[in-house]
Amino acid sequence: MEAKKPYVIAIVIQMIYTGMFVVSKAAFDHGMNTFVFIFYRQAASSLLLLPIAVLLERKNSPPVSFQLLLKLFLCAIIGSTFTLNAINASMKFTSATVASASYNGVPVVTFCIALLLSVCVQPATYGLLIHGIREGGCEAEEPLRHSKAYRGSALSRGRLWRMAWIKGTFLMVLAMLSFSLWIVIQAGLLKEYPNKMLVTLSQCVFSTVQSFAVAIVVERDFSEWKA
């Protein structure tokens, strides 16, 4: 059972991410601003982790230097603020299915980035497969009785739909690349400061501040901030 534990954990994490994509997409379809959503999400994560970190790590936490805080701040930008906002923005244009499928390619991209940066990775990564992003959808033929104006309008909507999917998929690829880069950076960061709980909490707090700054610039109407 001990040998199977990593696989069980990986499956559970994948299910959580899939559920998160579905719930997030539903919230966005009902008018929730994606940038405000990320601020709330990161703030909730920080509030949840803070008491746990205080209880478990207050006695054995090594000192944190200014240089380390700067690294954590930059990691929060790459792995949380940029990645999560790009993912959520892409889901406004595409679907939760695209987000989930793209996430499956993260291990392979992470391995390639680690290889380029000469970072040590686990040999088991060689066995990972990339799940392609599948963009579905077809257009039905227009009945001959429809007017040319209607056909033109339908074609215009079709072009807008395709452009939205292209933009959404591009944002998702950017998010996947930044998330993979963040994982590689994390490996070196945890060697320097091995306290995983405090590293996670610090990045959540930094990301909360960063996400608030982004959200307040993008959405200044506070009536839109109502959950």
pLDDT in tens, 4-34: 787 788 788 778 877 887 888 788 878 888 8
Residue 86 pLDDT more than 60? yes
More confident: 200 or 223:
200
User: In angstroms, how far is CA 64 from the centroid of its own chain?
Assistant: 27
Residue 85 pLDDT more than 50? yes
d(CA 24, CA 19): 8
Q: Across all residues in the chain, what is the average pLDDT? A: 77
Of the candidates 186, 197, 171, 199, the one whose C-alpha atom is nearest the C-alpha of residue 78 is 186
Q: Rounded mean pLDDT of 50-78? A: 88
Of the candidates 202, 190, 211, the one whose C-alpha atom is nearest the C-alpha of residue 46 is 202
Residue 224 pLDDT more than 60? yes
Give the model confidence (pLDDT) of 156-192 as tens digits: 566 676 787 788 888 888 999 999 999 999 888 988 8
User: In angstroms, how far is CA 158 from the centroid of its own chain?
Assistant: 28
Q: Rounded mean pLDDT of 34-49? A: 91
Instruction: Please tell me the predicted confidence (pLDDT) of residue 105.
Output: 79
Long-range contact set of residues 36-41: C-beta below 8 Å, sequence gap at least 24: 36/215, 36/219, 36/224, 36/225, 37/88, 38/81, 38/84, 38/85, 38/88, 38/211, 38/214, 38/215, 39/208, 39/211, 39/212, 39/214, 39/215, 40/227, 41/84
Q: Rounded mean pLDDT of 129-156? A: 41
